[in-house]
Amino acid sequence: MTEAPWEAQEINERRLKVMNQCSQTRISRGFTLIVDDSGHRKSGNFTAGVGRQYIGEIGKTDNGIVVVTTHLYDGKKSLPLDIELYQHASSLPQGKKDIEFKKKPELALSLIDRSLIRGYRPGIVLIDGGYGNNTTFLLELEKRKLKYLGGLAKNRKVITQTEANKLQEIRLDKLAQSLPIKGFTPIQLNLDKPKTVWVATVEVELPQLEGTRTIAIVMNASTFDSSSDIDYFITNVDSSIATAEWIVTTYGQRNWVEVFYREAKGWLGLSEYQVRDSRSLIRHFMLVFCAYTFVLWHTKTGGLRRRWASKPLNTFTDALEAFRTAMSFRFVEWLNHNQDVFLAYKAALGFIWA
């Protein structure tokens, strides 16, 4: 982790090249690129990037570490692409003036550019409110001729036309409250538990952005006053495509990055490490990426299924169980042929069979 002569970025490029060599796992144009950041608690102040900041997995501000990632979803597979450590200002000698300090949107853009340099061009970029509220970030996406769909804060101001054909600047929550009930379309989401949301789309203008963008208001009830959960979205996709149903269905794909974080943290130890410096942290994260990709590759190509499983490997945990079976078998097979080696180690170091 700290001294070995290898580079995390080179390993990452090799990992993605391996995925591109197989028809079942190849990265094709038009995929969904999910930009996200994830944090976990970390005590003390000696680990690179650590500081008091919002930690998504616990839903509050605490001492911890945050990483920015890009993630691919194409309807068939969910794959982590790139990762960078967010260096909290308090963890750097000169704070926000430090040359190493970069805001999360800056890190996100650098990760997006890595995908573009490889020739991976997404059909849509999905971002949450932390990035959707950043006009500079949206402009940078548009400079790269990328289509995006992102969250917005309820206090974001937009410019709309009134019934008298006059322009007015209004907060999104006030705009949602002013829309008639018939302006909202009920959309059923086919989740684990079917859910109905009410969606209205509006063409608006925003300061610093030329032309109009489509805004979507998504409520969990048919009226503003009875809704307990209201979300706001923005997209630069043409309004003929960005229908109410398209917006909620497409944005729902962001859940795949949350699935990845749960599996990577729960099964592969993404947030479990005993290293301090930034290079070692990135190396740890990259090894987790490689382990996750290894299991995914075997799941998609059928390698584990053919020999090590008696059932379809439909989930990550099923594939991981098959991998463990394979490794256990191979270790016992090695042991049977190399008992003299094992006994020598046992005699010299006190290793025991358990």
**Same-domain status, 104 and 165:** yes
**Same-domain status, 106 and 81:** yes
In a domain, 354, yes or no: no
SS3 content of the chain, % helix, strand, coil (to 5): 40, 25, 35
Matching residue, tokens 């079942």: 24
Residues 6+ apart with CB under 8 A from 324: none
- pTM, 2 dp: 0.90
Residues 6+ apart with CB under 8 A from 221: 198, 227, 228
In a domain, 3, yes or no: no
**Same-domain status, 108 and 235:** yes
pLDDT (tens digit per residue) in 329-338: 998 999 899 8
For residue 296, give the nearest of 80, 10, 30 by alpha carbon: 80
On whether the CB atoms of residues 202 and 177 are closer than 8 A, the answer is no
**What is the Cα–Cα distance from 117 to 129, expressed in whole angstroms?**
26
**Same-domain status, 261 and 312:** no
Mean pLDDT, residues 227-237: 95
Mean pLDDT, residues 107-129: 96
| Number of domains making up the chain | 2
Structural domain containing residue 223: 8-297
**Same-domain status, 311 and 284:** no
pLDDT (tens digit per residue) in 162-200: 777 788 899 999 999 999 999 999 999 887 778 899 999
In a domain, 175, yes or no: yes
| Displacement of CA 334 from its chain's centroid (Å) | 39
pLDDT (tens digit per residue) in 71-92: 999 999 999 999 999 988 888 8
In a domain, 2, yes or no: no
Q: pLDDT-based confidence at 347, cuts 50/70/90? A: confident
* Token reading at 63: 């001492």
39 pLDDT above the threshold of 90: no
